[in-house]
Chain A
């Protein structure tokens, strides 16, 4: 490692033409990761004002351990180098809540959310995910065709997110489309102003929900935020909104993207699908392997707080650094045969949920949702065909590796239970009763 530093960094840097929003990255991110890592685990791209890109697991893990050197903060002053976790910073006015904070403030926010997202807390939501999966499937099972995304995996995580926030379940579709559009619209897209406008309207809806939670609190994350104190002070609306926005973003897009990727892979690999279907005990390890292979959130950016040397590499104050999750997940040093899906791969210390103090706070709920939706759907629809011509991938996967549409056909089956509207009503009434009991 010291050799690499001496050779490349004291008298310059290895410059690569890397752009995580490019069509090339969308088409061949794994190969690019090998090319970059082969040159050096830490390279420099001149795109978007210039940034380091880190592609090897040891280096990324070490850097994520040092939030005091690699800051996630987004400075409201747009001229500051502290531009938060995305390169480029497409929405200087919108902060991603505590994802764009450092400890100790960031940890104060996590403490408010942790009780809702711990492994113990999420078990109560498994029946909801189960019921809405089947409700969505019952709506399409007789037709023998559906869009895996529009008709299933866009919906279930959105409904669950509403339930956890403590807002009416029927509001799920208010958030769905703007949230997805915000992650798949490239920063140079002519459509960006429209998407930003949709985002602002969604925020308007959130503001109303926070006001409603102050007036008439219902159990859930918004109520907890309204009642929370950080540093002995109640949160202002800005702090609450930033956090809710983050919960919605994390809740609505990543699980959708990930589950879609796996649905497609299982169609393309029927032998492995049969192996998984025959052995439910394989699902835990397989889920981790899918997470490694189809890493939904590609990585986060940081800003260097002071001149420093970490993992043998020198950085200067103000440098922007992209610490990838997806590319280290293909690091052959830690993952033999990294470009193959090995359902029972072990060990598998992947970085799909990030590393360090910003580890995805929803990882437990994401795993539970994925396993429940995928398993239950495969029980109802074990054989299916995806219409490749209709598969519509995100134009940029620089933020989230996902799809917009995935039309799927299968042999028609029979309904097993109530449809979607009735399931919304049933669950809303159950949650209302719980809320009344808590008063």
Chain B
């Protein structure tokens, strides 16, 4: 599905664990360009496909305020 962008050092991506997200919406408040809310239930999904350093920084910020800790940051 999402294709991680390769940087010189590490591949990074972010996704929302749907089994944990309960629709608190704080991620979309914090990083509205990265996280969008589904029309039907307001649960979050990652709306970008390019995981630039700016996106990752915004995603980390959102992850820190997620009540369910449902945002997964992968750096490999």
Contacts and interface: CB of A to CB of B under 8 A. Distances in A.
B37 interface: yes
B66 A349 contact: yes
Nearest to B66: A349
Interface stretch (A14-22, A165-173, A192-200, A355-363): A355-363
A359 B22 contact: yes
A288 B66 CA distance: 12
B26 A349 contact: yes
Interface residues of A, number: 25
B5 interface: no
B18 interface: no
Interface in A324-375: 346-351, 353, 355-357, 359, 363-364
Query: DSSP class of A's interface residues: helix, strand, loop or mixed?
Result: helix
Contacts of B28: 119
Nearest to A58: B69
A234 interface: no
Contacts of A350: 67
Given A349-B26, A364-B42, A65 B20 contact: yes
Interface in B26-76: 26, 28-30, 37-42, 61, 64-69
A357 B68 CA distance: 10
- 9 A-B pairs closest in CB distance: A347-B65, A359-B22, A347-B64, A118-B42, A114-B41, A349-B67, A120-B39, A119-B42, A119-B37
Given A117-B42, A347-B61, A349-B66, 13 more contacts: A114-B41, A118-B40, A118-B41, A119-B42, A348-B26, A349-B26, A349-B65, A349-B69, A351-B67, A353-B24, A356-B22, A357-B22, A359-B24
9 contacts: A114-B41, A114-B42, A115-B40, A118-B23, A118-B42, A284-B29, A359-B22, A363-B24, A364-B25
